[in-house]
Structure 1
Amino acid sequence: MTVPEITPEEQAELDKALYDALNPLASALRSRETGAPANRMWDASPVEVALSVLAAWKVVDGEVKRLTERAAATAGSYGASYEQLGTVWGITRQGARKKWPDAVSRPAPATAGKSTLALFGGTAELVQSPSGAWDWTGRGADGVSRTDVEGAPYVTAEEAAAHAGAFLKEHALAIDEQP
């Protein structure tokens, strides 16, 4: 995707829409600052009027930045890369990452989200799903295996480990059964 260009007609329509949205804001800001009625804003000196318009543009600029961040985050949540965001914005991939650092989520490293628990002669593997939830699969010392499909996914690795540990304890060999 390339940086979009607009036609002169579209530019004129955009300018009109922006000025139409800006004028009431500039009048309201000027009125609050001076105490004068909003409909009398244009009766002030040209410098004061121009500064009121500039102050209104600053507010609009802040809102455009906020909405731009939201649009970048939305695109990132649907799978857009920093390279794509940068292309649309006319900047590099690195520039997009700097501009919107949280827009694109990075996948967790392959080793993250897995661990093994060894207790009571058995083992359990704790696994984190892409959604972030944790589950476990275990094999007790008595040979009984279980995948924890009956329980809801666990919020933390510690919670999954506690349930896996209880399973391993329940399926430990009795002292007289141990080799």
Structure 2
Amino acid sequence: MTSFEITPGEQAELHKALHDALTPLASAVRSRTSGLPGDRVWEADPVEVTLSVLAAWKVVDTEVKRLTEIAAGTAGAYGASYEQLGAVWGITRQGARKKWPGAVSRPTDAAARTSGALGLCGGTAELVREAPSGGWRWTGEGADGTRGASGAGVRYATKEEAAAHAGAFLREHALDRP
């Protein structure tokens, strides 16, 4: 099995990147909760200051969980099994099924070759293989209610290529776009 451990150098880079991302968020949380101007938010009781940092980490934790769920669903949409998801996360197949219950769906073999569903960013898309050309197309609805489809006459060579284009559409029409 492949190891997903990171090197000490990568760990240090990750620590710095997370700290750099957290600092402005913690400052904003601290400013809102304390009512102090931005240049004075850290001039307070150390308990209050550290609780603001903890609150910012909670926001980051919630976002990481949301993005993790999207990644598991995407992997499942591309054909990953619960066993594979569990192996990457360091849990059992059953643990992965419990953690991401809708991430993996197993259509019949014939249906898997001719269609597929994709759920990303709160929207859904249907991937369909057209006979006789064998090309793939997609139709979808973003979380914001916008409907879209592959362009007129556009067919993709693979299901994965159609899914990538559908996924880009769904991300563009997510409710919580950055």
User: CA–CA distance in 1 between the matches of 2:3 and 2:104?
Assistant: 20
Structure possessing the higher radius of gyration over alpha carbons: 1
User: CA–CA distance in 1 between the matches of 2:54 and 2:95?
Assistant: 28
Alignment of 1:21-170 (within 5 A): 21-107=21-107, 130=115
The runs of 4+ residues in structure 1 deviating greater than 3 Å are 129-133
User: CA–CA distance in 2 between the matches of 1:131 and 1:58?
Assistant: 35
Aligned length: 116
User: CA–CA distance in 2 between the matches of 1:20 and 1:7?
Assistant: 20
CA change 1:131–1:75 in 2 (3 A) is: closer
**Secondary structure at the residue paired with 1:42?**
coil
Asked if the contact 2:86–2:92 (Cα under 8 Å) also holds between the matched residues in 1, the reply is yes
- TM-aligned CA deviation for residue 106 of structure 1: 2.5
Q: TM-score, normalised by structure 1?
A: 0.59
Aligned to 1:16: 16
Gaps of 5+ in 2: 118-125, 127-178
Asked if the contact 1:86–1:96 (Cα under 8 Å) also holds between the matched residues in 2, the reply is yes
User: CA–CA distance in 2 between the matches of 1:11 and 1:131?
Assistant: 37
Question: Cα deviation per residue 1:124-166 (whole Å; 9 max; x = unaligned)?
Answer: xxxxx75599xxxxxxxxxxxxxxxxxxxxxxxxxxxxxxxxx
Gaps of 5+ in 1: 114-128, 134-179
User: CA–CA distance in 2 between the matches of 1:131 and 1:65?
Assistant: 25
Aligned to 2:146: none
User: CA–CA distance in 2 between the matches of 1:13 and 1:130?
Assistant: 41
Q: CA RMSD in A?
A: 2.3
Q: Which amino acid aligns with 1:39?
A: D
Report sequence identity in percent.
74
- TM-aligned CA deviation for residue 96 of structure 1: 0.3
